[in-house]
Amino acid sequence: MKLYQLNLSPYTARVRLLCYAKGLDIEFAEPPGFRTDAYKQVNPVGKIPALELDDGTVLPESEVICEYLEDRFPEPAMRPADPFEAARARLLARMIDLYVIPAMSPLFGQLQAAQKDQQLIADGVTNARTAIGYLEQYIGEDGFAAGGKLSHADGALIGGLFFATSLLPLFGLAEPLADTPKLAAYWQAIQKDAIGARLIGELGEALKAAMGG
């Protein structure tokens, strides 16, 4: 199998979490550009991640890929066994996808904009702060997102919180997790997990390279 991905993407980080935790032999490949005709032949959506299966068929969408890998390679489990904990893991990942990352997305374009759009920046920071607040009620208090051990939700949170903590200070929100103490404690703890640390290191290296060092 081949995973089209880049280390800078918060969505691909959660798929790599499963690859590392399950020891999967999956080739990582860069997409031939985003939304290019060549890449749309692979993934009609034109986004990463996309998982090419051995028969050539392709699955897009990070959560769908994670579910597929979990079902196909169930050990070690990266989906909590308890139904409510499994739902909580899915909820946290969904909150990252529906609220946290979309709130921050407009800010990426402002990083290198010659003329900063102050209204867009103010709205982005406010929306991101609100979205981060949603996570506080559901985040695990034992160092992991849900289920008391590493799960796919940690991959989603790592992607979202890495960008929240690296990007928002550049736009004036010095302590993005100051209003969410449980989430702040989680963020400290997950950096001590071996796979958590690996993913955060990869995101950091990729961001540094993207910002020209």
Ligand X SMILES: N[C@@H](CCC(=O)N[C@@H](CS)C(=O)NCC(=O)O)C(=O)O
Closer residue to ligand X (CB): 72 or 94: 94
Query: Does position 5 bind ligand X by CB under 6 A?
Result: no
**In the bound complex, what is the minimum distance in angstroms from residue 210's beta carbon to ligand X?**
11
Tell me the number of residues near ligand X by CB under 6 A: 13
3-state percent breakdown (helix, strand, coil) of the chain, nearest 5: 55, 5, 35
Which residue reads 């407009």 in tokens? 106
Q: Using CB atoms within 10 A of its CB, is residue 152 exposed (0-12), middle (13-18) or buried (19+)?
A: buried
**In the bound complex, what is the minimum distance in angstroms from residue 176's beta carbon to ligand X?**
19
Q: Which residue is nearest to ligand X (CB)?
A: 47
Among 47, 79, 88, 129, binds ligand X (CB under 6 A): 47
Closer residue to ligand X (CB): 46 or 143: 46
Handedness of CA 37, 159, 162, 169 (dihedral sign): positive
**How many other CB atoms sit within 10 Å of the CB of residue 150?**
23
DSSP 124-169: HHHHHHHHHHHHHTTS-SSSSSSTTS--HHHHHHHHHHHHHHHHGG
Among 7, 9, 151, 180, binds ligand X (CB under 6 A): 9
Name residues contacting ligand X, limited to 52-111 (CB under 6 A).
61-63, 97
Angle between helices 83-95 and 152-167 (to 10 degrees): 30
Per-residue contact flags (x/-) with ligand X for residues 133 to 172, judged by CB under 6 A: ----------------------------------------
Closer residue to ligand X (CB): 12 or 184: 12
Rounded to whole angstroms, how far apart are CA atoms 124 and 129? 9
**In the bound complex, what is the minimum distance in angstroms from residue 156's beta carbon to ligand X?**
9
User: Which range binds ligand X by CB under 6 A, 46-54, 112-120, 143-151, 174-182?
Assistant: 46-54
Task: Please choose, from the candidates 157, 152, 120, the residue with its C-alpha nearest in 3D space to the C-alpha of residue 138.
Answer: 157
**In the bound complex, what is the minimum distance in angstroms from residue 181's beta carbon to ligand X?**
28
Query: Does position 46 bind ligand X by CB under 6 A?
Result: yes
Query: Does position 49 bind ligand X by CB under 6 A?
Result: yes
Rounded to whole angstroms, how far apart are CA atoms 33 and 44? 13
The DSSP output letter for 4 is E
Question: Which residues contact ligand X (rule: CB under 6 A)?
Answer: 9-11, 34-35, 46-49, 61-63, 97
